[in-house]
Structure 1
Amino acid sequence: MPETLTGPVEVVGAGLLGTSIALALRQAGVEVLLSDTSNEHLRTASGLGAGRSRVDGDRPQLVVVAVPPDLLAPVIADALARTAETPGAVVTDVGSVKTAPLAALAGAPALSRYVGSHPMAGSERSGPLAASAALFDGRPWAVTPHPEAAPGVVAVVEELARLCGAVVVRLTPEEHDRAVARISHVPHLLAALVAGRLAEAPADHLALSGQGVRDVTRVAAGNPSLYGQIVAGNAAAVEELLVEVRSDLDRLIDAVAEGDRPGLESLLTQGVAGTRAIPGKHGGPARPTRPVFVSVPDHAGELARLFADAGESGVNIEDVHIDHDPGRPVGLVELVVEESRAEHLLVSLESRGWVTHR
């Protein structure tokens, strides 16, 4: 079996992930065939340059299944059956749960030609119009071989990830599901619970909203039907972590109710340790950073001017957040930089007339 991905590649499901994969492959010069139950999605993805519609007689080297979790197993099985007469044809999927579809495919005669995968990239938006060829650049892409998977199949799927600009991380299906429960599924559920407390909040409470609550609740805007399928498909791993969170929440409630300051600070310190455990840029250890706050007039060209002046200071900006002031025509821009360079950036921006907040 060839271990190099030359194409054509069929992408089943022209939504955000499927269309983004197709655009990245087209950018890499690989022929892409598209299929979807939605003719509108097909027309949109094709119009974006993601490929052409699959027709009878096409013989893809690789089929990428990018459909909702409830449909993964039957669509993977169909792809394996359709490519049975194509020598060396490989099937993968990009779903966010790996053990459930694999269990549903148990005993399939062509299972050696399938290996699951999961790019760790996405958006709360959906559909082909949200797609981007750069969606996977530098992002982890889990490849999850099972015991029956042929080595050449694994190599082709890993080549897919690399052609899309991602970094391959090889995990077992079981370890993958435990990992995504921890870093994606449970955080999403907790964000939804926090956001739910806002739905019926009085308007004068919501008027105090700032960047903090937006950061915590952003992912809660995702499609409830899709995330319901994702969580249901990974129920065992999610339940285990939710039980741990429930235990911590009980401790937190007791600490608040009883005025237990040391107990409260212990839980907050545990949270700080968790933020520091998240890998930094390029997967390396997180380095200490410090925010620099700058008032920016809310009209065209001011952000570009700020970034240009920050660039002139020689300080690299690690991250950016913008919080709009509801009472004035300005925004508060948070420039996150290495801790050791923050003071230099403050002095440099102030010398160029910017109003900073120390």
Structure 2
Amino acid sequence: MRTALVIGTGLIGTSIALALSARGVTVHLSDHDPGTARTAAALGAGTEAPPEGPVDLAVIAVPPAHVAATVARAVRGGLARGYLDVASVKGGPRRELEALGLDLDSYLGTHPMSGKERSGPLAATADLFEGRPWVLTPGRGTDTEVLNLALELVSLCRGVPVVMDADAHDRAVALVSHTPQLMSSMVAARLRDAEESAVRLCGQGIRDVTRIAASDPGMWIDILTANPGPIADVLSGIAGDLQDTVQALRALESSDEDKRQGGVRLVEDLLRRGNAGRSRVPGKHGAAPAAYEVVAVFVTDRPGELARIFADAGEAGVNIEDVRIEHATGQQAGLAELTVEPSAAPLLSAALRERGWSIRQ
């Protein structure tokens, strides 16, 4: 791949353009808002100048509702040898293109499974896709050349290609991406009118659950309206669990011991099903989930604190598998939760105590 055209210079389009430009591909940028394309170009993502002839690959990075029309214009204009989109929904746009009677041999629907709460070119980074799954949904007539161009794009962006059927992809993202966004927003919405005394008690749990609720509503309206059926199917199952759980919790208020025990059993069943589902989430490097232990270290909010912890762990010969910070409300301090192999936890705790760190059990 020597030349590319990126149509749509938001977070995803600009990140792709930055990655390609950094690896020597000449990238042309296009957007319905010239100012957005100008910003992406200023960041080093490519040039606003139109290509003089067909490019190797046109990347359509627009909202799902606009994919079909944008791809159709690009194909009819002969802008590239191959065309792909990077929208988060795949089945609908392809059916729209088929309804237009377009020859889709040169087109491939894709979806990089990466993003941020922030949108727009200023949030873009060339490493956004590194190590992240990038779904490819080739059709029966997809040209081998186009598939190879798509695989090259994924490689240049350091992503991990995953081939799926378009409708299977939409059902999958409804479960693992779209529904979590709605659930996060529903929980966060409860905080809007909550008492200040309650909000001040927010800990890491509520921060984890509501993190993606900060996402751009306009962007998510585009996504959710493009995949309503599969999302509604998942939410329907969750609604059943919610109704059962409400009834179970009401039963726990009853003076009838049989009702109380029935409520306990139902809640316990839900929690255990949650345990089983959580255990299926892929672990490090996509491998099967591993059992880890957490060593919690009290840290102050000073430059270099985390670097010192990592250095001390390294000197102790312990590999830190993951880390997160739980901030203390109203204090310039918090807990650094270091995730390690179970056998390494006692060694790390002892080594850090020797170096003057305060360990929380």
TM-score range with shorter-chain normalisation? Answer: over 0.9
2:22 match: 27
Equivalent of residue 221 in structure 1, options 214, 220, 223: 214
Q: Distance in 1 between matches of 2:185 and 2:139?
A: 33
1:3 match: none
1:101 match: 93
- Which secondary structure state, in structure 1, belongs to the residue aligned with residue 191 of structure 2? coil
Q: Distance in 2 between matches of 1:327 and 1:180?
A: 38
- The reply on whether 1:182 has 2:175 as its aligned counterpart is yes
Deviation string, structure 1 residues 267-315 (Cα, Å, up to 9, x no partner): 0111111111011122111111122111101122212212221222222
Q: Which moved more, 1:209-218 or 1:142-151?
A: 142-151
- Report the TM-score, using the length of structure 2 for normalisation: 0.94
- The reply on whether 1:207 has 2:200 as its aligned counterpart is yes
Q: Which moved more, 1:335-344 or 1:275-284?
A: 335-344
- The reply on whether 1:159 has 2:152 as its aligned counterpart is yes
Q: Distance in 1 between matches of 2:167 and 2:330?
A: 50
Letter in 2 for 1:112: D
Letter in 1 for 2:209: V
Q: Distance in 2 between matches of 1:49 and 1:95?
A: 23
- Which secondary structure state, in structure 2, belongs to the residue aligned with residue 326 of structure 1? coil
2:136 match: 143
Judge conservation of contact 1:10–1:54 (CA < 8 Å) in 2.
no
Please give the root-mean-square deviation of Cα atoms over the aligned residues, in Å.
1.4
- The reply on whether 1:267 has 2:270 as its aligned counterpart is yes
Q: Distance in 1 between matches of 2:193 and 2:354?
A: 45
* Deviation for aligned residue 1:183: 0.5
Equivalent of residue 309 in structure 2, options 294, 306, 309: 306
Judge conservation of contact 1:99–1:174 (CA < 8 Å) in 2.
yes
1:16 match: 11
Deviation string, structure 1 residues 307-344 (Cα, Å, up to 9, x no partner): 22122222222222112212432121111222222221
1:44 match: 39
2:326 match: 323
- The reply on whether 1:77 has 2:77 as its aligned counterpart is no
Q: For this pair of structures, how many residues does the alignment match?
A: 350
- Report the TM-score, using the length of structure 1 for normalisation: 0.94
* Deviation for aligned residue 1:223: 1.0
Equivalent of residue 66 in structure 1, options 61, 70, 84: 61
- Which secondary structure state, in structure 1, belongs to the residue aligned with residue 325 of structure 2? strand
Unaligned runs of 5+ residues in structure 2 are 253-262
Judge conservation of contact 2:6–2:27 (CA < 8 Å) in 1.
yes
Letter in 2 for 1:60: V
1:115 match: 108
Letter in 2 for 1:49: G
- Which secondary structure state, in structure 2, belongs to the residue aligned with residue 53 of structure 1? coil
* Deviation for aligned residue 1:222: 0.7
Letter in 2 for 1:157: A
2:285 match: 282
- Which secondary structure state, in structure 1, belongs to the residue aligned with residue 318 of structure 2? coil
1:53 match: 48
- The reply on whether 1:168 has 2:171 as its aligned counterpart is no
Deviation string, structure 1 residues 48-86 (Cα, Å, up to 9, x no partner): 2111114252421110011122211111111111226x5
Deviation string, structure 1 residues 186-235 (Cα, Å, up to 9, x no partner): 11111110111011111100000111101101111111111111111111
Q: Identity rate of aligned residues, in percent?
A: 44
Q: Distance in 1 between matches of 2:342 and 2:7?
A: 46
Q: Distance in 2 between matches of 1:98 and 1:327?
A: 45
Judge conservation of contact 2:82–2:146 (CA < 8 Å) in 1.
yes
Superposed, 1:245-256 pairs within 5 Å as 245-256=238-249
Structure 1 segments (4+ residues) deviating >6 Å:
none
Letter in 1 for 2:221: G
- Which secondary structure state, in structure 1, belongs to the residue aligned with residue 335 of structure 2? strand
Q: Distance in 2 between matches of 1:329 and 1:237?
A: 44
Q: Distance in 1 between matches of 2:250 and 2:130?
A: 46
Q: Distance in 2 between matches of 1:327 and 1:68?
A: 40
